[in-house]
Each structure stands twice: as structure tokens, then as C-alpha cells.
Structure 1
Amino acid sequence: MSFTSPPSPAAAQDQDRRVRRTKARLRQALTQLLREKDLRSITVRELTDRADVNRGTFYAHYKDIYDMLEQYENQLFDSLGDLLSGYTPQQLQGDLSPVLEKVFLFVEDNRDLIPILLTGQAKDPFFQRLYAVIREKCAGDWRGAYSVGEEDPSSAYALEFVVCGTVGLVQSWMRNGLQPPASEMAVFTGRLIQQGLTSL
């Protein structure tokens, strides 16, 4: 009886690099096509032809195009959640700009995909997930950092204003070509959020 030897560490690394390159080509092709047409109009053949990847390779990683996009969205939100959870209320007291700068830089690093996902309407799943992440942070750690309570009936409206305003600023920043720099946007946005939170 013969046994197949496991791949060497070097061979495994080469395979991982090939997978990353393949997925990068598919992601680039998908973002290009999403700029040209609606997701429902994109076929797997069209995507793989654009990426110069065979269909079998595509199906080795994804069930369909919707699954592919969902995986990218999940990766984005996992990374964003890790970024936001890295700050305690104590670290945020008096200045939200450090964490906000990382958020804007995160958007900048993913500028191939996030702008496309955020061009939809407020009812769209990506917008709703982004809204929920920011709202949870504002209602939890950020509000706790500024010792504001929940007994005021107007607090829900003020919180809604802060969350929608933050998402709107990110959208406007992307439409303006990611200008001004992330550091300046972080200071400006942080000032607005602080004013909103202290009004709760």
C-alpha cells in the first residue's frame, strides 16, 4: 500500500500564494463588472473570462457569484469589527480620532469594493450591516466613554443622527476621491460624533 506524502511547507506556501493570486484576480474582475452592471446580470463565465481563471477554479472557492460577494463582505466586517473592538471606552475618552482614522484608512485600503457596495440604497444588506456595526459602537463603547445615559427620550434620535451622519460622511468622502486625508476626516468626524453623543 502506498501513501501520499503531505506537501512540504514550501509547496504549501506556493499553493497558498497561487490561491491568493487567483482570488485577487477574481475580486478585481468582480469589482470591474460591478461598475458596469448590476450583480444579477453578471455570469460566472463572464467573471472568469475577465479574471482569466477557469470555471472549475472559481467553483473550488465559491458556490456562485452571490457567495463570492458574501464572503468578501464577511471578511470586510470581520476586519472592521476587530478594528473597532481594539479600543476600550477609556481609550476613547476625549478623542475619537485615533479609531476613526483607522476606519477611514480601512475604507481607503478597500476602495476597490466598499464604494461599490455603498452605492446602493439604505435598504441594501451591506448598508444595513455597516449601520448596525457603527450603531452598536456608538450605543455602547462610544457613549460609555462620554458618560451619557439612555433615560432622555431624545437620545434615540440623537444616536440615529450620529450613526447616519457617520455613514453619510464616509459615502461623501468616497465620492470626493478620499479627500481630504483620512487623518483630517477622522478629526472632523470625531468632533461631530462627540457633539452628538454629549447631547444624548
Structure 2
Amino acid sequence: MAKELTESRRTQYTRRAMQDALVELLADKPIGRITVKELCDRADVNRSTFYAHYDGIEDLLHDIENDTIDWVSGALEQLLEQPDPDSMRHIVEHICRYIADNRSHLRILMSPKADAGFQQQLLGLIYGHGDIAAQLQPQGTDPAEAEMRVRFAVSGSIGLLQHWLATDLEAAPETVARIIIEMSLPGGSARREE
């Protein structure tokens, strides 16, 4: 777990430099082969600075993951507060823009090169919000069917986002968001045209 430090601008900059360095290194090799010395050289910080913030490389990776999970959790809370399809489209677009803005980190986090547990943690976060099933289904839908639809929508969305990241974001965030909404909401394209 990242050590608690006052979040001054300098601290934020240092943490970001180390996070960026780790993401760059993960693009070339698995986490188990990255050394603290190598990371510090890449981030242009000394080892004592690294250890003032983190206990090890995995701790740094978990800090990146936790930042992402915190952001996604906040976006999901917004989604749950805005049940109409148009508001959901805006939230999904917002999430897609976040992914585009943070593509280097998320490309690694969503790949097998990083901690394999991250995607499961992300799915657990989404699945943990049972209200999503109710909001993505027509009135009167069987709860078991609603749960299956949500799991399919979430898994499909993650697969689409992985593909989008792997193709270096060839599509616009709005296009990806539209596809997610159309595929996730029953009658999604019909709702969009009304």
C-alpha cells in the first residue's frame, strides 16, 4: 500500500513520474523483471525517494490501479444517480474520454503484462453495483436474466475497451461510448433516435 504523504504538488509530480516510468517499463517486460533501480533511473528519482512513497514495485502498481478504481467508482456512482439513457450515454462518454486521456496507463492495466487481478477487481467493482442491472433492463425483467445481461454487457465492454486500447484508439471516445450503450441497453439504438 502506498505510504501516506502530504499531497503537495511536488509529491504528486514525483508519484506521477514513478507511475509513468513503471508503465513505460511494463510495455517492455513483466513486472517481476523490473527493478527499483531501473525504475528510479527511468523516473529520475533516487531510491530513497521511491521508498519514501512505496514499499516496492508491486505497491506502485497497486497505487496506479487504486487511482483508476477510485475514478471508475466515482463514475459508477454518477451513473447510478442518472438512470435515464441519455445521462448514461454522457457518463459512458466521460469514462471513454478518461480512458483516452490515460491511455498509456490503462493500456498496460488492461493487458496481461500487469497485475492479472486488476481486471477482476474492476469487474468486481462493477458487478458489486447491483442497481446497474435494474437500470439497464426494461421494467419487469426477470432478475436472473437481468444479471446475465449485465455480466455480458460489462464483459463485452471491457473486451471492446481492450481492443480500442490495442488499436491505439482508432475510434473516437464518443463512438466507443455509443457502441457500448447500443449493445448494453435493450433497444439502445432505438432510444438514441427518439
TM surpasses 0.5: yes
CA contact (8 A) 2:137 2:146 kept: no
Separation of aligned partners in 1, 2:123 and 2:177: 18
5+ residue gaps, structure 1, are 1-12
The amino acid that maps onto 1:24 is R
TM-fit CA distance, 1:37: 0.6
Separation in 2, partners of 1:77, 1:83: 10
Identify which of 27, 50, 53 aligns with 1:61: 53
Question: Which residue of the other structure, out of 23, 29, 36, is the alignment partner of 1:37?
Answer: 29
- Is 2:73 the counterpart of 1:77? no
Partner of 2:191: none
The alpha-carbon deviation at position 156 of structure 1 amounts to: 3.8
- Confirm whether residue 172 of structure 1 aligns to residue 166 of structure 2: no
What is the rounded CA distance, in whole Å, between the counterparts of 2:136 and 2:149 in structure 1? 16
Classify 1:152/1:67 alpha carbon distance in 2 versus 1 (closer, same or farther; 3 Å): closer
1:42-53 correspondence to structure 2 within 5 Å: 42-53=34-45
**CA separation in 2, counterparts of 1:195 and 1:17?**
45
CA distance in 2, matches of 1:128, 1:102: 22
Divergent runs of 4+, >6 A: none
In the alignment, which of 91, 100, 108 is matched to residue 100 of structure 2? 108
Post-superposition shift, 1:93?
1.9
Q: Say how many residue pairs are matched.
A: 181
The one of 134, 145, 158 aligned to 1:143: 134
1:16 positional shift: 1.8
Point out the structure with max Rg over C-alpha. 1
After superposition, the C-alpha distances for 1:133-160 in whole angstroms (9 at most, x for unaligned) are 23334x4135236444563654443332
Give a deviation string over 1:70-100, Cα, whole Å, max 9, x none.
11111111111112212345x3323331111
**2:25 match: secondary structure:** helix
Contact 1:166-1:189 at 8 Å conserved across structures: yes
Q: Which runs of structure 2 are paired with 1:17-32 in the superposition (5 Å)?
A: 17-32=9-24
| Alpha-carbon distance in structure 1 between the residues aligned to 2:85 and 2:43 | 47
Paired-residue identity, %:
31
User: With structure 2 as the length reference, what TM-score do the two structures score?
Assistant: 0.82
Partner secondary structure for residue 103 of structure 2? coil
Question: How does the TM-score come out when normalised to structure 1?
Answer: 0.80
User: In 2, Cα distance between the equivalents of 1:76 and 1:155?
Assistant: 27
- 2: CA distance between counterparts of 1:44 and 1:191? 45
Distance 1:92 1:153 in 2: 20
- Structure 2: unaligned runs, 5 residues or longer: 1-5, 189-194
Q: Helix, strand or coil: the match of 1:195? A: coil
The reply on whether 1:159 has 2:166 as its aligned counterpart is no
In structure 2, relative to structure 1, the CA distance for the partners of 1:88 and 1:154 (3 Å cut) is: closer
Distance of aligned partners of 1:106 and 1:142 in 2 relative to their CA distance in 1, 3 Å threshold = farther
The counterpart of 1:93, out of the listed 84, 91, 116, is 84
